[in-house]
Amino acid sequence: MEEFLRPAVKEIKDYVPGKNPTSPGVVKLASNENPFGPSPKALEAIEKEAKNLHIYPDQKSLLLREALAKKLAVETDNLIIGNGSDEIMQIAAATYLKPGEEVIVSAHTFSVYEFVTRLFDGQPVFAPLNNFEQDLDAMARAITPRTKIIFLCNPHNPTGTYCSNQELIAFLDKVPDNILVVIDEAYAEFAEAADFPKSADLIKSSKNLLVLRTFSKYYGLAGLRVGYGTGNKDLIHYMFRTKLPFNVNRLAQMGALAALDDNAFLDKTYKNNLEGKKYFYAEFDKLGLEHKKTEANFIFVNIKRSADEAFLALMKAGVIIRPLTSFGLPEAIRVSIGAPEQNRKFIANYT
């Protein structure tokens, strides 16, 4: 069937997900999922909504957009909901990227940025990392007259590092208005840095900025696939034209809506992440392992040996982590911050 393929499809690599447990007792610290499961309020809302599954969902997710608008102090028309935030990346590329135009992404980052670029016949341009951190100056230098989109992951996946509010503003000042800047903030709710960007404020003064967040991590709803994008009204308006009509199902919409106000669950999640970071930092220091301070719910560890071999050894011990070979970092791993007993099991079995 290869003769029927669009040429762009030949350049697309298969996505490599984190491995799921196949037997009881296995600890999964590979995919940055919430160790406490889904929001309890979301579960209640999903059970209640299940009786309406014979009815199509609201194609514009209005109730969820209204709640988010209130929370973010923006207007409903500034928001679009997606089947995960990665679908919004695809919608943005479908709306704005022309064949042959360039998309700037960091090297060794989330693969969906490159995927949506190639899917719509764009040309990815990779800016190198600097000490495993995104290099905004390198990304700015990579801009050419053919640049259409820049993807910036903040906090950065897989290293957990971040760009500050001042750094981001300085970078945006260098980007021409005809280039769309997509900031993927999938892990922003975990950030504790005082100077982490106030993206909602930046959106109000920028016509070419799209900020993405997700309900997968902090809210514990990875299996429902709900994400959202915030941007200029005109920017969002045209994205609705390329969005599939019923992209977010009823259960996902109602579950996400309820999870927004599950403050007890969210507070528990945030505090656990803070404590988990402290524990891992101390243990990695004892083991002499190079690691990065993180603003996310995972930690990047440069183990300086085969990540795939470490992955297999830990698998035998009932612990799943993420080798970063598919990110182009074959001697590094990413470890999700789990519940205390999960974290201890990883440390006890790391050799």
Three-state SS annotation for the chain: CHHHCCHHHHCCCCCCCCCCCCCCCCEECCCCCCCCCCCHHHHHHHHHHHHHCCCCCCCCCHHHHHHHHHHHCCCHHHEEEECCHHHHHHHHHHHHCCCCCEEEEECCCCCHHHHHHHHCCCEEEEECEECCEECHHHHHHCCCCCEEEEEEECCCCCCCCCCCHHHHHHHHHHCCCCCEEEEECCCHHHCCCCCCCCHHHHHHCCCCEEEEEECCCCCCCCCCCCEEEEECHHHHHHHHHHCCCCCCCHHHHHHHHHHCCCHHHHHHHHHHHHHHHHHHHHHHHHHCCEECCCCCCEEEEECCCCHHHHHHHHHHCCEECEEHHHHCCCCEEEEECCCHHHHHHHHHHCC
Domain end marker among 208, 232, 259: 259
Same domain, 58 and 110: yes
Identify whether residues 181 and 56 lie together within a single domain.
yes
Q: Do 245 and 182 lie in a common domain?
A: yes
CATH of residue 286: 3.90.1150.10
Q: Is residue 3 part of a domain?
A: no
pLDDT at res. 18 = 63
Predicted pLDDT of residue 28: 95
Residue 24 structural domain: 9-37+263-349
Task: For residues 101 and 184, state if they share a domain.
Answer: yes
Claim to verify: residue 337 and residue 281 sit in the same structural domain:
yes
Domain check: are 247 and 288 in the same one?
A: no
- Mind listing the pLDDT tens digit of every residue in the chain (351 residues)? 666 777 777 777 776 666 676 666 789 999 999 999 999 999 999 999 999 999 999 999 999 999 999 999 999 999 999 999 999 999 999 999 999 999 999 999 999 999 999 999 999 999 999 999 999 999 999 999 999 999 999 999 999 999 999 999 999 999 999 999 999 999 999 999 999 998 888 998 899 999 999 999 999 999 999 999 999 999 999 999 999 999 999 999 999 999 999 999 999 999 999 999 999 999 999 999 999 999 999 999 999 999 999 999 999 999 999 999 999 999 999 999 999 999 999 999 997
- Please identify, among 233, 259, 285, the residue that sits at the C-terminal boundary of a domain: 259
Same domain, 18 and 132: no
pTM for this model (two decimals):
0.93
Q: Is residue 143 situated within a structural domain? A: yes
Q: Which of 238, 259, 280 is the last residue of a domain?
A: 259
Q: What is the per-residue pLDDT for 22?
A: 62
Does some domain include residue 206? yes
Total domain count, the chain? 2
4 within some domain:
no
